């Protein structure tokens, strides 16, 4: 924000409300800022020793950013959280923006290329231009977008040749983020494949991140490690492992973590109660650091706590319950990061994304302080039933094999072992 920019130049403001009350006027050589609600003397303090010089272009650029964020806030309601889903980018990455807007999301995730191929065609220049244009038109900022990496990537692979193949794919994703003007990149850390100790794979992962940072000089893209459910030999189900990887990363301004609720629960972190949630957050802060939290995946779980199975379910339908998400959406520590649904969309039967639209509506309600959880839960069950999801009325009904966003349930468990 402009206030932060001015703070850096020793100008302090008491509140962002003064920014909203300013008028920007151009003169022949300067850009003047006038307060319409109060005088500058009452709202700012300038040190006598420092002379502040701020260029016109810098101020205009920052005001444009502020305007986009303010428009986004007004357009998408008063919800405090940035909530969305992992939407399709079929036909071009620019379509992900349109798909996010269709479901009322104020944040979203996407695949930058095929998640099942090592090599994909380069992004078309027309797609890059369209993506950036649509981002502005629909008032999305880069910090609200959390791209997901290829499932093939395993930077912890003990085989040097295969690890290099993963690195090439990984680096390509980072460069695509740069081209699109995005700031975050989420990926699964990797696996030991049962060949080496976890510490060896964690070092491989950290070294790959360091190398990628060196190979993308000037980039602002933050590499975001995802916590995992814990099946097989995957790295990242234990917060301590994520913390150790980050400890070995040289540029810590370009590394972070995305917490998946289903993965946490499957790994043994019981977040169903508020106390359980707070204990889990404290554990994360101790082992990793809350300053590294850059996003979350909001998914219920088809399996019980500690199952080590990654089986996503719709909000409130699984073992986590809607109450768990109420804790998260009202936690001020989770407010300024993208919160992304990867729940079953039921689009294969409904031919629409009404389930995601409803889940986003419910999450926004929770964020705004809605307390009638039974009513919210019934809303989700009704829309799932209308979409053809026959399991909505019973948690233990046989799981139907279908899409979870763009991923099948059968692939979910094996994803943690690929590479």
Q: Nearest 5 degrees, angle CA 178-CA 180-CA 181? A: 65
Name the more confident of 44 and 354: 354
Rounded Cα distance between 355 and 368, Å, is 20
pLDDT confidence of residue 352: 84
Residue 323 backbone class (left: φ over 0; alpha: ψ -120 to 50; beta: rest): alpha
pLDDT confidence of residue 347: 84
pLDDT in tens, 271-300: 999 999 999 999 999 999 999 999 999 999
Percentage of the chain lying above the pLDDT 70 cut: 74
Name the more confident of 310 and 74: 310
E strands present in 151-221: 184-187, 190-191
pLDDT in tens, 38-75: 333 333 333 333 333 445 555 545 555 455 444 444 44
- Residues annotated as part of the active site: 116, 148, 151, 188, 226, 260, 263, 297, 310, 312, 342
Name the more confident of 392 and 234: 234
pLDDT band at 227 (very low <50, low <70, confident <90, very high): very high
- pLDDT averaged over every residue in the chain: 81
Statement: residue 178 has pLDDT above 60: yes
Q: Which of 141, 162, 165, 144 is closest to 64 using CA atoms?
A: 141
pLDDT confidence of residue 80: 65
pLDDT confidence of residue 88: 96
Name the more confident of 171 and 408: 171
Residue with tokens 């399709």: 88
Name the more confident of 295 and 408: 295
Instruction: Tell me the pTM.
Output: 0.77
**Do the bridges between strand 107-109 and strand 255-260 make them parallel or antiparallel, or are there none, so unpaired?**
unpaired
Statement: residue 358 has pLDDT above 80: yes
Alpha helices in 181-321 (DSSP H): 198-215, 239-248, 261-266, 274-287
pLDDT confidence of residue 157: 98
Give 143's DSSP letter.
G
pLDDT confidence of residue 274: 96
What sign does the CA torsion over 273, 279, 284, 289 have? positive
The predicted model gives 85-102 an average pLDDT of: 97
Domains of the chain: 2-68 (no CATH), 76-415 (3.20.20.150)
Which has the minimum average pLDDT: 13-17, 120-124, 168-172? Answer: 13-17
pLDDT confidence of residue 348: 75
Residue with tokens 């975001």: 224
pLDDT band at 388 (very low <50, low <70, confident <90, very high): confident
pLDDT in tens, 185-212: 999 999 999 999 999 999 999 999 999 9
Residues 115/88, Cβ–Cβ less than 8 Å: no
Q: Which residues make beta-bridge pairs with 191?
A: 234
Name the more confident of 46 and 250: 250
Residues 302/399, Cβ–Cβ less than 8 Å: yes
3-state secondary structure of 13: strand
The predicted model gives 247-258 an average pLDDT of: 98
pLDDT confidence of residue 243: 98
pLDDT confidence of residue 417: 39
pLDDT band at 310 (very low <50, low <70, confident <90, very high): very high
pLDDT in tens, 9-25: 333 333 333 333 333 33
Name the more confident of 280 and 349: 280
Statement: residue 183 has pLDDT above 80: yes
Half-sphere exposure of 122 (CA within 13 A, CB side): 5
Percentage of the chain lying above the pLDDT 90 cut: 71
Rounded Cα distance between 133 and 147, Å, is 18
Statement: residue 391 has pLDDT above 90: no
Q: Nearest 5 degrees, angle CA 259-CA 262-CA 268? A: 90
Q: For the chain, what is the largest distance between any 2 Cα atoms, rounded to a whole number of angstroms?
A: 72
Residues 148/193, Cβ–Cβ less than 8 Å: no
């Amino acid at each position: 924000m402009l206030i932060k920019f001015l703070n850096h130049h020793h100008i302090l403001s008491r509140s962002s409300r003064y920014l909203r009350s300013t008028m920007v006027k151009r003169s022949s050589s300067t850009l003047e800022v006038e307060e319409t609600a109060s005088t500058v003397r009452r709202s700012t303090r300038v040190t006598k020793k420092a002379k502040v010089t701020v260029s016109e272009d810098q101020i205009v650029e920052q005001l444009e950013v502020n305007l986009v964020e303010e428009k986004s806030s007004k357009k998408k309601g008063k919800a405090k959280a940035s909530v969305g889903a992992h939407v399709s980018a079929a036909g071009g990455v620019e379509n992900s923006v349109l798909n996010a807007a269709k479901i009322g999301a104020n944040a979203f995730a996407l695949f930058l290329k095929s998640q099942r191929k090592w090599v994909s065609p380069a992004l078309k220049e027309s797609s890059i231009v369209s993506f950036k244009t649509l981002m502005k038109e629909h008032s999305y900022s880069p910090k609200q977008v959390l791209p997901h990496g290829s499932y093939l990537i395993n930077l912890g692979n003990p085989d040097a040749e295969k690890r290099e193949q993963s690195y090439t794919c990984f680096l390509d994703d980072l460069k695509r983020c740069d081209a699109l003007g995005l700031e975050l990149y989420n990926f699964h850390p990797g696996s030991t494949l049962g060949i080496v100790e976890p510490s060896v794979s964690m070092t491989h992962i950290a070294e790959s991140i360091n190398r990628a940072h060196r190979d993308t000089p000037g980039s602002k893209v933050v590499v975001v490690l995802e916590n995992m459910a814990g099946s097989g030999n995957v790295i990242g189900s234990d917060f301590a492992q994520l913390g150790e990887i980050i400890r070995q990363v040289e540029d810590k301004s370009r590394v972070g973590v995305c917490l998946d609720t289903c993965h946490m629960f499957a790994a043994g972190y019981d977040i169903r109660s508020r106390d359980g949630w707070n204990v889990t957050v404290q554990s994360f802060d101790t082992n990793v650091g809350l300053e590294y939290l850059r996003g979350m995946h909001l998914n219920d779980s088809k399996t019980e706590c500690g199952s080590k199975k990654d089986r996503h379910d719709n909000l409130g339908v699984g073992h986590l319950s809607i109450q768990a998400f109420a804790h998260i959406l009202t936690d001020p520590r989770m407010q300024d990061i993208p919160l992304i649904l990867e729940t079953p969309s039921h689009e294969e039967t409904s031919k629409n994304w009404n389930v995601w639209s409803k889940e986003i509506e419910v999450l926004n309600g929770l964020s705004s302080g809605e307390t009638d959880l039974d009513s919210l839960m019934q809303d989700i069950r009704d829309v799932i039933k209308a979409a053809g999801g026959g399991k909505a009325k019973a948690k233990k009904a046989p799981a139907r094999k279908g899409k979870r966003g763009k991923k099948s349930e059968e692939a979910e468990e094996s994803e943690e072992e690929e590479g």
